[in-house]
């Protein structure tokens, strides 16, 4: 189960951030087909994906997913998680308008899991939670989640929902991987565990560094995303990758699979989010959801990452 959201997902959520960016429509359809064929159910996107690409305006990922669901006639087989409020804020009107726009692009009548994409401490909890509650009551959204929020604000939001009878966050989505553990571990993890929330981690593979794709700096040119991993060549990055190599070899797996299995084994984590730009990558990620690490293997990876 994905926390107390009422939703369930296998321990891998497909990231849709690459759709309309490093994966064109045809490739995206192939990846989505492979994901569902392999037993995957939840697809994560956002209304701003992939607005950073020249010529795009945002919403391209949702549009591709919507066209794919219509072409395949499989809306009932998948769970759609999307996000709103990144640029326009989490005011009541902004969230209502963002959700309606997402529904149009996705060509569906409901969003299974709707996240506020990032928190805004200037907006009172009653305001954005009231807007989300209205979306739930209208049947446009089944469950709500928070992304990029502090432990304090998350705790306060849950208290506000309870005190006012409003829909409550059931899922947290946050940055978490072996090289950036402090963003989740600590107070934020404590809130998740204490309240039985689900947690879906993004940047689970550290922009691809934990796949082993980038071994030396000359590898950065292998992908348009390569520039995002430069910092990992310093500090504990090489040591973590060496530990993943060792554990992966013991299991007949890949470093990416070992990294995702480690993430899934952490307290409070329901499923890592990972994206694929081709069918082979998708098969590798799906296999990670079946991988289980021993306590000793988890401890060795832990030691390398601390």
Q: Which residues pair with 113 in a beta bridge?
A: 81, 143
Handedness of CA 217, 223, 224, 229 (dihedral sign): negative
Please report where in the chains the tokens 């010529």 appear, as a residue: 55
Is residue 49 part of the annotated active site? The answer reads yes
* φ and ψ of 243, to 5 deg: -65, -40
| 2 CB-contact burial (10 Å; exposed 0-12 / middle 13-18 / buried 19+) | buried
Q: Is the pLDDT of residue 219 over 90?
A: no
Eight-class DSSP state of 11: S
List the domains of the chain with CATH numbers.
13-208+256-294 (3.20.20.100)
Confidence of residue 225 (pLDDT cuts 50, 70, 90): low
Tell me what pLDDT residue 74 has: 98
216 is written with which tokens? 């030396």
Question: Using CA atoms, how far apart are residues 247 and 256, in angstroms rounded to an integer?
Answer: 11
- For 201, the 3-state DSSP assignment is strand
Confidence of residue 217 (pLDDT cuts 50, 70, 90): confident
Handedness of CA 21, 43, 162, 166 (dihedral sign): positive
The mean-pLDDT minimum among 54-58, 136-140, 217-221, 244-248 falls in: 217-221
**Do residues 175 and 182 touch, judged by C-beta distance below 8 A?**
no
Which of the residues 49, 128, 176, 232 is marked catalytic? 49
**Do residues 248 and 254 touch, judged by C-beta distance below 8 A?**
yes
Mean pLDDT computed over 242-256: 98
Q: Is the pLDDT of residue 72 over 70?
A: yes
Tell me what pLDDT residue 230 has: 85
Tell me what pLDDT residue 226 has: 66
pLDDT per position as a tens digit, 83-119: 999 999 999 999 999 999 999 999 999 999 999 999 9
Tell me what pLDDT residue 120 has: 97
């Amino acid at each position: 189960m994905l926390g107390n959201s009422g939703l369930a997902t296998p321990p891998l959520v497909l990231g849709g951030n690459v759709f309309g960016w490093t994966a064109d429509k045809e490739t995206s359809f192939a990846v989505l087909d492979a994901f569902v064929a392999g037993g995957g159910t939840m697809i994560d996107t956002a209304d701003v994906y992939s607005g950073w690409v020249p010529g795009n305006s945002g919403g391209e990922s949702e549009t591709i997913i919507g066209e794919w669901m219509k072409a395949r006639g499989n809306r009932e087989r998948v769970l759609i998680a999307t996000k709103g409020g990144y640029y326009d804020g989490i005011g009541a009107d902004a969230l209502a308008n963002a959700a309606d726009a997402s529904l149009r692009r996705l060509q569906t009548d409901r969003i299974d899991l709707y996240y506020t994409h990032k928190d805004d401490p200037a907006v009172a909890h009653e305001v954005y939670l009231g807007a989300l509650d209205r979306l739930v009551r209208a049947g446009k959204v089944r469950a709500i989640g928070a992304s990029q929020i502090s432990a304090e604000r998350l705790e306060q939001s849950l208290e506000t929902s309870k005190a006012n009878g409003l829909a409550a966050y059931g899922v947290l989505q946050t940055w978490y991987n072996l090289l950036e553990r402090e963003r989740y571990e600590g107070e934020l993890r404590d809130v998740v565990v204490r309240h039985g929330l689900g947690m879906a981690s993004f940047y689970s593979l550290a922009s691809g560094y934990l796949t082993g794709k980038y071994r030396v700096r000359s590898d950065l040119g292998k992908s348009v995303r390569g520039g995002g991993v430069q910092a990992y060549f310093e500090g504990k990055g090489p040591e973590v990758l060496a530990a993943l190599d060792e554990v992966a070899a013991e299991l007949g797996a890949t470093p990416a699979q070992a990294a995702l299995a480690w993430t899934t084994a952490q307290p409070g984590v329901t499923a890592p989010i990972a994206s694929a730009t081709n069918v082979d990558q998708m098969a590798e990620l799906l296999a990670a959801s079946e991988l289980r690490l021993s306590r000793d293997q988890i401890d060795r990876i832990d030691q390398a990452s601390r």
